[in-house]
């Protein structure tokens, strides 16, 4: 049986992952409104990934005999100041999520919960990838410097992104 403090911290994380999903869906809507369907697709895949993270925590708690309790999701931003602003906010958010995962591991360590520490390793690796992906996009956006041709090509590239469900059996 999972300890109360770990259970509570993971329930908080389910809320945080759901917030992330909802925020990226909001960014997708913003890009759709700008006519940037490739950027919108990238954010929609991001939404699916974050939803899958919430489910991964959900399944883990269930497996450990813990009760999942869902809380209200805070209002997400709906207005942004252009493409770069969206990705700068995304990077700030992912760095924040990394700190949440690190705190979660601290809770598991204090509780001497080795199973949770092992489970959380996946998220540590995932956060390294999340931050790197966003940093790469920001770098490209800075090179393009708002030029129409570059944005058009980037929109086509980001439109290729496909969701791979981390919860699907390999």
Catalog residues that contact Mg ion under the rule CB under 5 A.
17, 50, 53
What is d(CA 54, CA 49) in angstroms, rounded to the nearest whole number? Answer: 9
CB-nearer residue toward Mg ion: 17 or 155: 17
Min separation Cβ 50 and Mg ion, Å? 5
Min separation Cβ 162 and Mg ion, Å? 18
CB-nearer residue toward Mg ion: 17 or 113: 17
- The packing angle between helices 37-63 and 83-110, to 10°, is 10
Of the candidates 59, 33, 56, 32, the one whose C-alpha atom is nearest the C-alpha of residue 158 is: 32
Token output for 18: 């759901």
For residue 76, CA distances in Å to 34, 50, 89 come to: 19, 14, 12
Min separation Cβ 49 and Mg ion, Å? 7
CB-nearer residue toward Mg ion: 19 or 30: 19
Token output for 143: 């090179």
Any idea which residue has 């204090």 for tokens?
Answer: 110
Q: For residue 83, how many other CB atoms are within 10 A of its CB? A: 21
Contact 42, 153 (CB under 8 A): no
Min separation Cβ 17 and Mg ion, Å? 5
Min separation Cβ 150 and Mg ion, Å? 29
């Amino acid at each position: 049986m999972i300890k109360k403090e770990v259970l509570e911290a993971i329930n908080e994380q389910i809320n945080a992952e759901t917030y992330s999903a909802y925020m990226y869906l909001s960014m997708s809507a913003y890009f759709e409104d700008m006519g940037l369907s490739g950027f919108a697709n990238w954010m929609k895949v991001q939404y699916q990934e974050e939803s899958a993270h919430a489910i991964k925590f959900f399944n883990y708690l269930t497996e450990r005999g813990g009760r999942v309790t869902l809380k209200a999701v805070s209002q997400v931003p709906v207005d942004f100041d252009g493409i770069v602003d969206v990705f700068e906010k995304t990077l700030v958010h992912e760095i924040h999520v990394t700190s949440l995962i690190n705190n979660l591991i601290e809770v598991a360590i204090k509780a001497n919960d080795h199973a949770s520490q092992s489970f959380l390793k996946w998220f540590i690796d995932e956060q390294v990838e999340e931050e790197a992906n966003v940093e790469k996009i920001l770098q490209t956006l800075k090179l393009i410097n708002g030029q129409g041709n570059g944005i058009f090509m980037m929109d086509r590239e980001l439109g290729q992104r496909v969701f791979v469900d981390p919860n699907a059996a390999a």
